[in-house]
Structure 1
Amino acid sequence: MRRLLADRDVRLVVGGQTVSAFGDAALWLVAAVWVQRLTDSVALAGLTFFFLTLPAVFAPLAGLLVDRVPRRPLLVIGNLVSGVLVLLLLLVRGAGDVWLIWLVMTGYGCSAVLLGAGASALLPDVVPAAQLGPVNALIRSLREALRVVAPAFGTALFAMAGGGAVAVVDAVTFLVAAGALGLLRIVESPRETEEHPHLLRSIAAGFRHLAGIEVLRRTTTALGLILLVVGFLESAGFALIVDGLHRPAAFVGVTQLAQGVGAIIGGVTAVRVLPRTGESALAALGGIGIGAGCAVWALPPSPVSVFGGAALIGAGLPWLAIGAETLVQLRTPGPLLGRAFGAVEVATSVPQTVSIATGAALLTVVPYGWVILVVAVVCAATGLWLLIGRAGPSAEPA
């Protein structure tokens, strides 16, 4: 890893994405807290996350754009536009301006979809194929570390100086990311050229690619199945704290801290595990790890079981994400990478969104322990299914 970071372009990519991720993590929670403070409504605060995640349905269109135009200029412009967008939050004055926060969050969601697909598609032009896994693991580790501190920073700054101050900090992080991308010295892979492209067929190319290669099809299916139940934990985790440990809901922040520490460990260890297992197997082991953490949560609740389970879940999630992302990068032709990641975004975001709503509904009729146990069984079984049909380590793109 030290030798890899000796590469100037790798440092720019990792540093730019890390700084931008800090701004993201600082603002997202603040936006919901801001709405709650302005309206005194928890439901309206929760709606903020809906506007943030809604643009995921347009991921295939974003992927098509990533594949049709030069990626580095697109990412530079996207970061700059995003920085200007968040500064609109400086205009928020009262409850009547909540619509402006939601508008910015919708635009933020569009930006996240486009920049996420673009960054993942650009990375193979920066990093040798054999090093994609370690770099993905490093970026994920840094992001997870920031998820531990950035929300606290954002909410503290919000309390002292208001939401506008957080927006300015986030805008600066977008500017830094754009600058880092602009300094890259790379030759991008060729774009796709179609003399008479059919729009719908071009958009669907990412889905066809994932479906046409067995290891990608199995891994994407496993991702969708796991995320279809992991969202249950959003509500079940609160019930575990309140009804199981008999602690106030705010105590969930301590649980998130344990999960964040586990995620950092998961990202760091992925660097050593990935070369030995391969990308698909790493994702499978991540699913099994999430299932194991949920199984610990299903035990009679105690601080040890709650924190231990959270750490296992936190460690499993990066393995799942790093394995899947690296696999797509290695098994997808360069001109198709944007649409492939757009298809993955749809295949994962939609089930996760559905599962969050379903989990909240289930808890009204089913004890939280049974809901957590269902998540444990589905995640572990899906991980085992993926492990059975795993592929070995990859070295070259398709």
Structure 2
Amino acid sequence: MIKLYFKQAFFQLRENRLISLVSIIGTALAICMIMVIVLVLEVRITDCVPEVNRSRSLYMKAMSIHQKGDTSDNSSNGCMSLTVAKECFKALTVPETVTIVSTGGRMRISVPAGKTMTVDNLETDDTFWKVFSFDFIAGKPFTAADSESGLPKVVISASVARNLFGTVEAVGRTVQLNLADYTVVGVVKDVSKLAVSSYAQIWIPFNSTEIARKCWYDNAMGTFRVVILAHSEKDFPAIREEVERLRQKFNDGLQDSEIFYRGQPDDRFSFIFRHWGRELQAKEAYLHYLLVIVILLLVPAINLSSMTLSRMRKRMSEIGVRKAFGATANVLLRQVFYENLLLTLIAGAVGMLFSYACTFLLNDFLFSNSENRAQIGETSLSADMLFSPWIFLAAFIFCLLLNLLSACIPAWRASRMNITDALNQR
């Protein structure tokens, strides 16, 4: 019986080709729009290599400092010094670990008497490799001893290794970073710029450069951020409480100024939407995003529902004929259901293909932001970033329900009408 329903549904699609095509494209575009919007957010928020621990990480993007007793909103805003990073975050006992990371920059890397290129770099510590999960092609990360001693060790990406040496087998070789000799200890797969907390093309210990000594304003402001890896999300409140205690302890040691974090450390969503020097209203950000999604769904959905309703009204006489030959209300409603299910299935498949095509073709437009615009690498997308069956399923079910409501209501009314009225489309 189901096979017969689908055959009849295909026949109806062929009989009304223009309306069917417009309905399919309209439903596909509705699904495509919602998926693109949500995929853009998902790529930036959900766990993906190398940021596989986003869901249990807290972030400190920036901090503020002002004079003690200042009740105005005047403050200096920016990254923290190494002193603050160590005393206020490395000293945490609740989380699994904490990594200190520079804000990133560029360096000239070269092979002695060989090729030279400019690369994006990060300066960090050994726990960086515990918070983030990189795919090592060769070698291994620099160790805690390397980091503490400031030994000139470097991890490079595969593309940098191929550019400089013609191969990824670069472990043990010497490169020059701003004319200083460094030994390659590891080679990793290239990282997408979408991994904003861990992206670089080379990674070195911050103790191997002068960056650790760059600080100002009571030795509190500097060029570092921190990422806190919790054992689980349940530990977030306890971590924030400990962060606040350490902040107050640090402020007690300052004579004229005090630091504050404006609601940080943040979970991943808040981290993405936070701007320096402002209080973040996370609920407003969520509502704003939800409103955009609802508008993108409702506008095409209403048009599709009107089209489906008009199509069903034109079929009143057909329903009357079928009813005259003994078709029950349940049979008629099942037929309408399978017709709309088939139409939405086709549109869903087309919409999903559209969404992935748009995401890839408009990659730079969708994912370019102030943090990665000036970086050299690629905003490449991997399968684990894009594959989200729940998003597609939610958009598909929403469109199916709207199409069913707009089709089943007039079909239900027609199935209960007098046969003569249905035949005359009254």
TM-score band by shorter chain is under 0.3
Higher strand proportion (structure 1 or 2): 2
Higher helix proportion (structure 1 or 2): 1
Q: TM-score, normalised by structure 2?
A: 0.24
